[in-house]
Every structure is written in structure tokens, then in C-alpha cells.
Amino acid sequence: MKTVALVPAKLKSDRVPFKNIKDLGGVPLVNYTIRTLNKVPDIDEIIIFASEPSICNYLQHGLKYKFLERPGYLDTQEAKIQDIIREFLMKTNADTIALFHITSPFLKAETVSDCIKKVNSGEYDSAFSAYEIKKFCWYKGRPLNYSLDINTPRTQDIDSVIVEQSSLYVFKRAVFERTGQRISNNPYIKLIDHFEGHDIDTTEDFRIAELIVNTGFFTT
């Protein structure tokens, strides 16, 4: 059984220019993900899947990884994550895939390892990182986890809402080939806090990440 870490990457991005290689705490962002994966003993191979090999110029010496070139069309806004995974599986012999996005620099090696172990044990068919939210939530114009027909409950008494953190997914090749999805019917949900799961999607997100690094909440 071969477990491979898939790290999709591209040099250019729309909302935060050159996000994946932008300096965070004096280090290009891509390094945080590869550093973390280097600490996960359950991973047999770490692959940066990108259309431009020059991204490797931004990685620190001594980190273990391989570069695998992907078609340029996967860099476009029209490309979906399923397209990237499908292309990746055609080029590798991975049995278990740990998909880890560069935009979550603070995810812990222990979190990745836990998800891999749960899937490789056969206990679960997929895994992902998530937040648990105990707040009054709405969906499509209606309350999601409470009712307007009864007295408003205390927040500690309402049902939690689980939100995908969207940066770490672990799944079997067979699951994706069968369903076309990275989550199947029996997923392991790894709950993490908002510091660990902070995801960089906008310029504001990047500024918050800088604050986390500069104030010492995250250390390598």
C-alpha cells in the first residue's frame, strides 16, 4: 500500500498574487506545507503537482519531495479539484492520497498522520479536516441548527455545524475512481481549531497569517 501526498501548486493566483510563493515570516509559503509533510512518517512520497518546475526554486534545501509536471490547463479558474486529482492518478501509482493545499501553512503533522492512519486502517474510507461551529447558522434563508418557532436556546445547547476546512483530504484511489469525489460515505472528520486550520484565500487572510507567525502562535 503506497501513501502519496499530493500538493497542487501554481505560481500565479488571482486574489493574492503569487500566493503559493509569497513570503510568510520570511519564507515562501510553499515551504510550510512541505516541511509539515516531511514530518509525517506515514507518507511514502511527497509530490508537488504543478505546471512550472520553477516553483522548486522557492523550496528550502534539504526538504524531501518530488516534482511532477501537470498540464497548464489545470492552472485556469475553470479547472476543478477533481480534474487535478484525476490527472494525478493517471501519472502515479498511489493507493492512498493525502491531498494537502499550500494555503493552510499551520496544519500539524499529527493531524495529517491521524487522517492517514484512519483511512489506511480500513476503519474509514476517507478523511478531512474540519471546524466545529456552535453558532446560530442559516442556510437558504432559514435557520439551520435552531428554530424560530421556539425560544432561542443558549449557543452551548444548539447542535454543532461541521464545516470542511478545505485543505486536507485523505482518500483511497478506489474511492475516487468509484465516486469521483475525495469524500465518500464513511469519512473520518478530524476537528481542528481555527489557528491550525487558518486558510489563506484573500489578502486579509494572508495578513492574519502574518500576525499568527509574528506573534509566536506558530513555530516551526
- For residue 103, which of 214, 22, 220 has the smallest C-alpha distance? 22
pLDDT of residue 136: 95
Mean local confidence (pLDDT), 30-42: 97
pLDDT at position 15 over 90: no
Q: What cell does 98 get?
A: 493525502
- CATH number given to 3-214: 3.90.550.10
Instruction: Please list the residues that pair with 5 across neighbouring strands.
Output: 46, 98
- Dihedral sign from CA coordinates of 186, 89, 97, 201: negative
pLDDT at 92 over 70: yes
User: pLDDT, tens digit, for every residue of 165-193?
Assistant: 999 999 999 999 999 999 999 999 999 99
- CA 104, CA 167: separation in Å to the nearest integer? 6
Q: Residue 117: which pLDDT band, with cuts at 50, 70 and 90?
A: very high
Q: Over pLDDT 70: what percentage of the chain?
A: 98
Q: What is the pLDDT of residue 215?
A: 87
- The reported pLDDT for the residue numbered 126 is 97
Res 33 pLDDT > 80: yes
- State if pTM tops 0.85: yes
Q: How many other C-beta atoms are found inside a 10 Å radius of the C-beta of residue 11?
A: 17
Residues 75-83 have a mean pLDDT of 92
Give the mean model confidence (pLDDT) for residues 56-62: 96
- SS3 assignment for 39-106: CCCCCCEEEEEECCHHHHHHCCCCCCCEEEECCHHHHCCCCCHHHHHHHHHHHCCCCEEEEECCCCCC
pLDDT at 30 over 80: yes
Give the domain ranges of the chain: 3-214
Dist CA 18 CA 55 (whole Å): 11
